[in-house]
Amino acid sequence: MLVDSHCHLDHWREEEVAEVVARARAQGVGALVTIGTRLAQAETVKRIASAYPEVWCTVGIHPHNAVEAPVPTVEELLRLADHPRVVGIGETGLDYHYDRAPRAVAADVFRVHIRAAQRSGLALVIHARDADDDIAAILEDEYARGGPFRFVLHCFSSGRRLAEVGIALGGMVSFSGILTFKRSDALRAIAGEVPADRLLVETDSPYLAPEPYRGKRCEPAMVKHTAATLAKLRGMTLNALAELTTANAERLFRGLRVPAIPA
């Protein structure tokens, strides 16, 4: 069974979520992590996760939303994360492509999330776009300041150096449907070199549908296509890749367990 380590189930109407989860299950997706992007949305993702045994969630502030509210405190994040279905903090990070928040503010919010992950032991979910050097510097600085923390560079599409820094600090690297795109040769080269115990797959649905669905609305069931591409370039069977990435997801997201396949 595969794990979709990053999706956004709150982007579907409430009555659609059950169908989305069922289609994922039918395609061999045994667990889904639905991701928080605003603190005001935290109760929504927790409610979705509580409704389905396959679904878990995170709480946090996406860098696009870093100016919508005051910079949170570590204690505020820890309070929102104190729930049995919460397995991560974020998504957080930096995005210099859209620059929807002042960079200094986004960096402050990012650091608060890192410190909440350090305090809680929950996994940190990192969004990185066109900000590799600053993300690497903040990760190294916070690691030196407060010690190790579990994290994943989600929807990885950055350069080799950020992958190397993340791996050196103990992080994981997650690949989305971008890996299947025709012009993603450089990304596939990186994916082929990431240590096996650091690999994850995701959809980031409803965005970034993999080939052959590119341009359509993505959903967790489609993670199988990204996994198949990753398996092929690493010389593995899809089943072996699924077993590997599921074990990695269960190790990263404390408390997440993939339900057993019915007999």
- pTM metric for this prediction: 0.97
Question: What's the mean pLDDT when you consider all of the chain?
Answer: 97
Cα separation of 205 and 78, whole Å? 26
Token digits for 167? 């791996």
Residue 38: inside a domain: yes
pLDDT band of residue 259 (cuts 50, 70, 90) is confident
Question: Percent of the chain having pLDDT more than 90?
Answer: 96
Report phi then psi at 143, rounded to 5.
-60, -45
Residue 260: inside a domain: no
Query: What stretch of H or E contains 117?
Result: helix 103-120
Residue 170 vs residues 61, 120, 160, 202: alpha-carbon distances, Å: 23, 17, 16, 19
Domain span at residue 223? 2-252
Closest CA to 5 of 79, 55, 77, 66: 55
CATH of the domain at 62: 3.20.20.140
- Edge to edge, what strands does the sheet with 123-129 contain? 2-7, 29-34, 55-59, 86-95, 123-129, 151-153, 172-175, 199-201
Residue 29: inside a domain: yes
- For residues 99-111, give the mean pLDDT: 97
The pLDDT of residue 72 is above 80: yes
For the chain, give percent helix, strand, coil, nearest 5: 50, 15, 35
Token digits for 140? 């190294």
Residue 262: inside a domain: no
Cα separation of 72 and 246, whole Å? 32
Residue 257: inside a domain: no
pLDDT band of residue 262 (cuts 50, 70, 90) is low
Residue 208: inside a domain: yes
Cα separation of 36 and 31, whole Å? 16
- For residues 64-73, give the mean pLDDT: 94
Residues 6+ apart with CB under 8 A from 238: 224, 227, 228, 231
> pLDDT, tens digit, for every residue of 5-39?
999 999 999 899 999 999 999 999 999 999 999 99
Residue 91: inside a domain: yes
Question: Percent of the chain having pLDDT more than 70?
Answer: 98
Residues 6+ apart with CB under 8 A from 42: 36, 59, 80
Question: Quick check: 88 and 123 in contact, CB under 8 A?
Answer: yes
Cα separation of 124 and 126, whole Å? 6
What is the total count of domains within the chain?
Answer: 1
Residue 81: inside a domain: yes
> pLDDT, tens digit, for every residue of 139-187?
999 999 999 999 999 999 999 999 999 999 999 999 999 999 999 999 9
The pLDDT of residue 261 is above 80: no
Residue 83 vs residues 9, 32, 45, 77, 257: alpha-carbon distances, Å: 18, 17, 11, 11, 15
Q: Report the Cα 143 to chain-centroid distance in Å.
A: 20
